Structure 1
Amino acid sequence: MMRLTSVLALTLFCLCVGAVSTIKRLYHMADLTSITFGKKFPHHGLMLLYWFTLHIEFDSQDFILPKDYDPTDGDYGCKTYANTQKLLPKIPRNTEDESYYIIGNLKNEAAKFPTYVNQDYYNAYCALEENANRDDTNRNRDRIIFRLKVLPSGLHLKEVYITQTAVTGLRLSHDLTYEISAQLLKEIRDITQHKVAILCPALKPKEEEAHGMFEDQNLAWFLTLADYDIYRRELCLSNTHCSDYTLGVGEECMSHLHCTPGSTEGEVCDWNPVRLKVSTTAQGYAVVNWANIPDTRVEDEGLTVALFQNDDSSDILAEKAVHDLASGSFPTNTTLNAGLQVRLLLKGSKQTETLWRGPELDGKNPTKIQGYDASIQLFTRDGLAYARFYVKKSFTNWKASFPSWYIGYIPIPEASYATYVYAKDLVQTTDHKFAELDVYEHFFNQKMAPRALLRFFDYQNKVRAQTKPWDD
C-alpha cells in the first residue's frame, strides 16, 4: 500500500509541475553516430554543428564561450528561444542573466554562413524525386539551442542542444532533441586527432568521397565519422556535373570527371561545387561571378549563368552564356540589393533546368564596438551605401557615451572617409525587430563600391571599429 501511495504521489506531482525533461545527452562521437540528426541530404545539421564548434572556445574552468560573435546581437540569425513547449529545462524566473538562444534557421540568414552550411539549402531539389517540391522542409529543419549565461567576465554557454523542427510546422520535436556535452564539442573541434578511426577499411571509401565534396578536410573527417549519407548527396552533385545523369552517375560523365582510383574499390571523383557569387561595380551595380564549372558541363550548349532577384524569384534579371569558360564574370545594369542570386542554368528548346544556385546576397554580421554594447554594419539598398547601428536596449545613455563620435563611409580601405554621420544623428528604424536591440540607420548618398567599408571614429578621430570590405 505504501509503495502504491508513493507512485500515485509521484504521478500527481508530475501532472502538476509538467513533464520532466528526458533529453538524451551525447558524450562522444559514437553517440552522435547512433542518432539520425542531420545525416540525410539536404539536412544541414551536422554542417551547422561543425561550424558551431569552430566558433566556441573553452576557458580554464572548461566553460564554453562564444568566439568572434555575439548571440545577443543577433549574429548569424541568433534569436531568443522562449521554451514555450517546455522542451528544455525551465530557467527559474529570478534568473535574469540566463536565456535560451536558437540558431540555424537559414530562411533569411543562410548567406551569413559559410558555403558548406548553406549550399544544400539552396540546392536541395536537384534530381531527387522526393525533393523536387520547392516547399520541401528538410533543407531547413535543423537547429542548435544553447543556454546563455551573462557573467561579469563575458558570455558563457551552459548547455548546448541539437534539435529539429517537426515536418508539419515550426514546433521543435522532443524525440529529435539531444544535449551535446562539452566533451563531444571538443571531439568535433579537434576532429583531426581522430583520423586513426578512418583506418577502418569499411569507412575508407566514404571518407574519400567526402574529401572530394568538401574543401575543408576536417569537415570531411567529421561527416565520415558521424555517418553522414555521402552517397545520397552525391546524387545531387552528379546531376550538376553530368549531362547524361539518370539515377546515378552516367558512364560517359564518369570518363570526363577528375577521378582517381580509390584505396579499396571503385573511383573517387572531384565533386567540388560550382561557385556562384554577386559582387559590385564601383557604381553600385551587380556583377555576376562564376567559377569551378566542371569540365563535363562547361561545353554544354545552352549553359548559362543568370541573375535573379532572390531565391524565390523565377524572373531573370541578367544572363550570359558560359561559352566554354569554367570561370568568369560580367557586369549588369541591375542595382545592388539584398537577396540577389546567381544560378547556373541549362537552357533547352523546351525547358530550362537549374543546375546550381549560389547564395543570396546579404550583408556581413555587424562589427562590435569594443567596450560597448553596440555594433555597426554596412549594407546596400538600390546600389547605394547605408550604415546600420545596433545598440542594446539596456545601453540607454549611448548617445551621451559617443559625444562627437561618427561613422565614416570609406570607398577604398586606403582612403579617408568620403562622407560621415555623427552617431547622435542616426535615425531609428522599426524594420528590424530584436528583443534586446534597437536599430538605427543612415543613408550616405554614395554608390556602393567593391572594397567599401565603415569606420567608427571617436571624438579624437581614433578608429574604434571597422567593418570588413564589402566584397571580401
Structure 2
Amino acid sequence: MAARCSSVLLRCVLLPALLLALSGAQEDIHTLTRMEDLHNLHSGRYFPRHGLPLLWWFCQVLRIDHRNHMRLNFDIRLESYGFQPFQNNFDENQRRHLFPVIRGQSSSYYSLGDLAYPGATALPSSILRYYFNPGVPNVPWMLGGHDANRDRLVVLFHPSSFRILRLYLTDHYSPEATYRIAPRLVRRIKKLSSVKFQAAVGYVSYITYCSHHLDTNSSTQYSCNPVFSQKTHLEVKTTNGYATLHWNRVPYSNLDAWVGLYADGSKADGSYLSFHYISGKTSGTFVSSTLVTPGLQVRLFKHKTAKHSAFRGNQLDEACGVLPVRLPSHKVYMQLYAKGGHACARLFMHNSLNISNSAFSSAWVGFFSSDNAPNTNYRNYRYVKHFTKEKDLPGYQVWVDGCVGNLLSVGVQARFFPNNGYGHISRTKPWAC
C-alpha cells in the first residue's frame, strides 16, 4: 500500500491534506445541489446579468469523473478566458474571509467573469452580448439592474492536477449572494443545452422577455429590438493583415444603414476608424485600411444621421478565442496572437525552466500560411533564445517573439521546432478570425 501511495503522492497525500485543511476552515456558504436551487435565487436571473450563462458554459468545459472530481484541460494561471487570481482577504466590515482560508500554497482561488479583464473577450458571445450592448434592449432596466458585469465564478484551483476543488457563484463577492455549486449540480448542468438550462433555472434573456411580455402587450411603450430577435451578428476578421468588417442578419433594409470599425468598446460612436454603407444588404463584408489589432469592434447604425449605434459586436480577441497549446514533454505553452496586422507567438514557460537553457538553444518558432504547408515552407521564424520577456504570471514567465510573423489571414499557423531540423513538436490551431 505504501508503494502505491508513493507512486501517486499527489492523490494519496497532498490532496487529502488540502481537503483536511479546508474542512477545518469555517464555511457558512450555502451549497446549491439542485436546479431548483438556482431557480430560487433572488438575483441574477434577468438580463443583462451574465452569471447563469457563465455557469452553464463553465460546466460544459469541466470534466467530472465518477468520484465527482472536477478538472479542466487547461491551466487557468495563463489567464485564459479572463481568469485572474482572487485575493481572499479579510473583510473588516464583515469580520471574516469570504471563502475558507487555505493553509499552504498548493491551491489558490481564481475568479472568472470580469468582462473588462484582458482575456475575457475569448468568452462566448452569449455571455458578452449585454456587456457590449448595455443600452440596446429597449426595456425597463429595473429587470436586471444597470450593471452587466456584476457576476463572478470563483474556483479553488489545484495547479498540479488541474482540479477544481470548489466552485462558487457570487454576485460581486457579496456574502449574502455567494453560493457553492455542488459537483452533482455541475453534472446535471452538463447534460442540458443552453436553452434548456435557462428554462430550467428561469433565466430571462432579452428575447424571452420580448416574446412573453412585450409583443403580447400592444399598450406598452417598449418594443423588441430586432437585432436581438433576429440574432444579428457582427465581427472582425482578417484579410492580409487588415481588419475586415463582417455583418449578418441585419434587420434594416434602408440603403443608408452602415457599419463602423472602432478601436475597442470604450470608444464613442463618433470615433470610428472606418465605416461602410451596407446598402440594404443583410449580410456582407468590407475590407478596411486598419491593421488588425486586439479589441477591434464592429458597430451597426440604422441610418447615416444616427448618433448612437443600434448594435455592437464582440471585441476581437487577441488569440481569436483559442487556448495556448502545450508542448509535449515540456512545461511550455505556445499561443498565436495578433498585433499590428502580424502573426505573433507567445510562450508561457514554467518557472522551473530557463529560456537560455541549452534545451532551447536551437529551438525556433515558424509561421506558416496554412495548416497544410510543409514544414520547410515557413514564411518567417524566430529562435526562442531571441524572444523577449513580456510579463510574469503565477508559475510562469511569458515570452514573445516580437511579431515577426507574416501578415495575418485566415489559416495562418505557428509551429514549434525543438532544434535546427524541420520536425515540429507542436502547432497552434490555424487562425480563424
Do both proteins adopt the same fold according to a TM-score greater than 0.5, normalized to the shorter chain? yes
Matched with 2:416 is 456
TM superposition shift of 1:403: 4.1
CA distance in 2, matches of 1:272, 1:399: 55
Q: Deviations over 1:24-74 (max 9, x none)?
A: 00001011111135312111111110110111112343211113x221222
For structure 1, which runs of at least 5 residues remain unmatched after alignment? 1-18, 166-171, 192-217, 240-244, 258-269
TM alignment of 1:325-336, pairs within 5 A: 325-336=281-292
CA distance in 2, matches of 1:318, 1:235: 33
Matched with 1:262 is none
Aligned pair 1:104/2:113, yes or no? yes
Farther-moved stretch of structure 1 (105-114 vs 174-183): 105-114
TM superposition shift of 1:234: 4.2
Q: 8 Å contact 1:41–1:233 — kept in the other structure?
A: no
Matched with 2:47 is 41
Matched with 1:5 is none
CA distance in 2, matches of 1:103, 1:21: 21
Matched with 1:289 is 246
CA distance in 1, matches of 2:169, 2:48: 17
Matched with 2:366 is 408
Farther-moved stretch of structure 1 (304-313 vs 414-423): 414-423
TM superposition shift of 1:456: 0.9
TM alignment of 1:254-293, pairs within 5 A: 271-282=229-240, 284-293=241-250
Aligned pair 1:91/2:102, yes or no? yes
Aligned pair 1:441/2:400, yes or no? yes
- 3-state SS of the aligned residue for 2:410? coil
Q: 8 Å contact 2:256–2:280 — kept in the other structure?
A: no
Give the length in aligned residue pairs.
Answer: 385
CA distance in 2, matches of 1:106, 1:383: 24
CA distance in 2, matches of 1:333, 1:52: 37
Aligned pair 1:359/2:359, yes or no? no
Matched with 1:162 is 169
Q: 8 Å contact 2:344–2:400 — kept in the other structure?
A: yes
Q: 8 Å contact 2:136–2:310 — kept in the other structure?
A: yes
- 3-state SS of the aligned residue for 1:223? helix
CA distance in 2, matches of 1:304, 1:366: 36
Q: 8 Å contact 2:381–2:405 — kept in the other structure?
A: no
Q: 8 Å contact 1:110–1:359 — kept in the other structure?
A: no
Q: 8 Å contact 1:41–1:232 — kept in the other structure?
A: no
For structure 2, which runs of at least 5 residues remain unmatched after alignment? 1-24, 91-96, 215-219
TM superposition shift of 1:231: 5.4
Q: Deviations over 1:68-104 (max 9, x none)?
A: x221222112122120141001101xx3211111111
Aligned partner letter, 2:312: R
CA distance in 2, matches of 1:106, 1:233: 23
Matched with 2:13 is none
Aligned partner letter, 1:31: D
CA distance change for structure 1 residues 420 and 301 in 2, over 3 Å: closer, same or farther? closer
CA distance in 1, matches of 2:212, 2:128: 15
CA distance in 1, matches of 2:115, 2:124: 12
CA distance in 1, matches of 2:340, 2:164: 39
TM superposition shift of 1:370: 3.1
CA distance change for structure 1 residues 44 and 340 in 2, over 3 Å: closer, same or farther? same
Aligned partner letter, 2:272: I
TM alignment of 1:56-75, pairs within 5 A: 56-67=62-73, 69-75=74-80
Matched with 1:178 is 179
CA distance change for structure 1 residues 156 and 37 in 2, over 3 Å: closer, same or farther? farther
TM alignment of 1:346-385, pairs within 5 A: 346-347=302-303, 349=305, 351-364=306-319, 365-385=323-343
- 3-state SS of the aligned residue for 2:44? coil
Aligned partner letter, 2:262: F
TM superposition shift of 1:300: 3.0
Q: TM-score, with normalisation over the residues of structure 1?
A: 0.75
Matched with 2:261 is 307
- 3-state SS of the aligned residue for 2:357? helix
Matched with 1:79 is 84
TM superposition shift of 1:236: 11
- 3-state SS of the aligned residue for 1:76? helix
Q: 8 Å contact 1:147–1:158 — kept in the other structure?
A: yes
CA distance in 2, matches of 1:327, 1:321: 12
Aligned pair 1:317/2:280, yes or no? no
- 3-state SS of the aligned residue for 1:125? coil
Q: Deviations over 1:143-191 (max 9, x none)?
A: 111111244xx221111101121xxxxxx21111100000000010012
Matched with 1:420 is 381
Aligned partner letter, 2:65: D
Farther-moved stretch of structure 1 (400-409 vs 71-80): 400-409
- 3-state SS of the aligned residue for 1:300? coil
TM superposition shift of 1:128: 4.3
Q: TM-score, with normalisation over the residues of structure 2?
A: 0.82
CA distance change for structure 1 residues 413 and 143 in 2, over 3 Å: closer, same or farther? same
Equivalent residue in structure 1 for 2:128, among 97, 118, 135: 118
Q: Deviations over 1:185-218 (max 9, x none)?
A: 0010012xxxxxxxxxxxxxxxxxxxxxxxxxx1
Q: 8 Å contact 1:163–1:178 — kept in the other structure?
A: yes
Matched with 1:143 is 152
Q: 8 Å contact 1:235–1:247 — kept in the other structure?
A: no
- 3-state SS of the aligned residue for 2:165? strand
CA distance in 1, matches of 2:31, 2:416: 44
Matched with 2:299 is 343
Matched with 1:224 is 199
Equivalent residue in structure 2 for 1:399, among 347, 351, 357: 357
Q: 8 Å contact 2:80–2:119 — kept in the other structure?
A: no
Q: Deviations over 1:258-297 (max 9, x none)?
A: xxxxxxxxxxxx9242111111112x11111011213xx2
CA distance change for structure 1 residues 424 and 231 in 2, over 3 Å: closer, same or farther? closer
TM superposition shift of 1:342: 0.3
- Aligned Cα RMSD in Å? 2.8
Q: 8 Å contact 1:426–1:440 — kept in the other structure?
A: yes
TM superposition shift of 1:130: 6.3
CA distance in 2, matches of 1:348, 1:404: 56
Q: Deviations over 1:307-341 (max 9, x none)?
A: 11110112111111122211100111111111110
Q: Deviations over 1:408-467 (max 9, x none)?
A: 11122222311211222211124xx52332111112163222221111122253322211
